[in-house]
């Protein structure tokens, strides 16, 4: 049996890489940033991401968020949420806020969630699947001429038809005003509506206790160590680690991690969260 051996520090380097990927998303265009570029990217993007985060959910007419969209959640255009524009230097004034797809040639103008029927795409009333329709505004069917635009009668677990739901893009303040959870501020790209560990569960079974809670004094007073969240370390003296350390690691173990299914979003988030409450850095920044 083939055995994967990592050089000393190899596991940490893989971890570092996954962290890098969560933060940078697709913004490096597939070519790893140099350590300098990475630091520069974090300095420029993270404050903006924390201030201007947009939360995305798929909302039932009853007001329940039946789906909280995460980085890997597919759009009607078949691309993932993280492939859409999600970082804004200034939050757009107009509503609804449209998050266009960034994949070259994709006509998608605004992220649109479509539920799945198990692992299957749902059908339109024209009988064709969602992904047989054009992602351009109008959402007409590519497989027939009688379709006047995608319309799914699929019944969501909340009891309402899919077509009665809306993909909602809103700011933290807008969610807070409705008493909806916003979770903690995170430095990761395209977090969408993920606010807590149960965010990927369907709305009706989610017990969301992910609102902002005050971290403990002990936690806030503890010194920042090398094992801490990179966001904390950004504001420390320049970090000794860099994404380039990865070159010593066999890539075979990383490939599967890079194409993680949606369910792993929260597993990753939870692990990071348990290392340290992510909101604590905000307090640290003010010191």
Binding site for Zn ion (CB under 5 A): 60, 66, 75, 77, 79, 101, 103, 106, 108, 124, 126, 128, 141, 143-144, 147, 156, 158
Least Å from the CB of residue 139 to Zn ion = 8
Least Å from the CB of residue 247 to Zn ion = 32
Q: In this complex, which beta carbon is closest to Zn ion, that of residue 163 or of residue 225?
A: 163
Q: In the 8-state DSSP scheme, what is residue 73?
A: P
Q: In this complex, which beta carbon is closest to Zn ion, that of residue 23 or of residue 112?
A: 112
| DSSP H or E run through 167 | strand 166-171
Q: Are strands 65-68 and 120-121 parallel, antiparallel or unpaired?
A: unpaired
Integer Cα distance of 49 and 85 in angstroms: 12
Least Å from the CB of residue 79 to Zn ion = 3
Least Å from the CB of residue 138 to Zn ion = 11
Least Å from the CB of residue 114 to Zn ion = 10
Q: What angle do CA 114, 116, 119 make, to 5 degrees?
A: 145
Q: In this complex, which beta carbon is closest to Zn ion, that of residue 63 or of residue 250?
A: 63
Integer Cα distance of 188 and 185 in angstroms: 9
Integer Cα distance of 30 and 65 in angstroms: 33
Integer Cα distance of 216 and 258 in angstroms: 34
Least Å from the CB of residue 70 to Zn ion = 15
Q: In this complex, which beta carbon is closest to Zn ion, that of residue 15 or of residue 166?
A: 166
Integer Cα distance of 54 and 36 in angstroms: 28
Q: In this complex, which beta carbon is closest to Zn ion, that of residue 141 or of residue 168?
A: 141
The backbone torsions φ and ψ at residue 26, rounded to the nearest 5 degrees and listed phi first, read -105, 10
Q: In this complex, which beta carbon is closest to Zn ion, that of residue 142 or of residue 227?
A: 142
Q: Within a 10 A sphere around the Cβ of 245, how many other Cβ atoms? A: 18
Integer Cα distance of 110 and 101 in angstroms: 7
Q: In this complex, which beta carbon is closest to Zn ion, that of residue 6 or of residue 103?
A: 103
Q: In this complex, which beta carbon is closest to Zn ion, that of residue 21 or of residue 165?
A: 165
Integer Cα distance of 92 and 170 in angstroms: 10
Q: Which residues in 37-102 belong to E strands, given as ranges?
A: 54-59, 65-68
Under 8 Å between Cβ of 114 and 76: yes
Integer Cα distance of 9 and 27 in angstroms: 26
Least Å from the CB of residue 118 to Zn ion = 16
| Residue found under tokens 């806020």 | 97
Least Å from the CB of residue 126 to Zn ion = 3
């Amino acid at each position: 049996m083939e055995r994967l051996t990592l050089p000393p520090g190899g596991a940490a380097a893989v971890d570092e890489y996954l962290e890098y990927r969560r933060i940078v998303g697709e913004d490096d265009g597939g070519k790893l940033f140099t350590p300098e570029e990475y630091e520069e990217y974090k300095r420029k993007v993270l404050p903006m991401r924390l201030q201007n985060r947009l939360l995305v959910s798929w909302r039932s007419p009853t007001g329940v968020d039946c789906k909280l969209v995460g980085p890997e959640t597919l759009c009607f255009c078949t691309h993932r949420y993280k492939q859409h524009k999600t970082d804004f230097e200034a939050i757009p004034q107009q509503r609804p806020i449209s998050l266009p797809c960034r994949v070259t040639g994709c006509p998608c103008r605004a992220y649109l969630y479509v539920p799945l029927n198990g692992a299957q795409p749902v059908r339109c009333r024209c009988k064709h699947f969602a992904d047989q329709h054009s992602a351009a505004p109008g959402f007409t069917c590519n497989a027939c001429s009688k379709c006047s635009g995608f319309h799914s009668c699929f019944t969501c677990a909340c009891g309402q038809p899919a077509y009665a739901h809306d993909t909602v893009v809103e700011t933290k303040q807008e969610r807070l005003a409705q008493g909806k959870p916003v979770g903690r501020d995170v430095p990761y790209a395209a977090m969408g509506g993920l606010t807590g560990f149960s965010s990927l569960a369907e709305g009706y079974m989610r017990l969301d206790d992910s609102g902002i809670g005050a971290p403990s004094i002990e936690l806030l007073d503890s010194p920042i160590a090398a094992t801490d969240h990179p966001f904390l370390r950004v504001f420390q003296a320049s970090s000794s680690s860099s994404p380039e350390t990865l070159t010593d690691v066999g890539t075979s173990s990383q490939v599967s991690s890079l194409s993680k299914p949606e369910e792993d979003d929260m597993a990753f988030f939870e692990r990071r969260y348990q290392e340290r409450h992510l909101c604590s850095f905000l307090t640290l920044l003010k010191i």
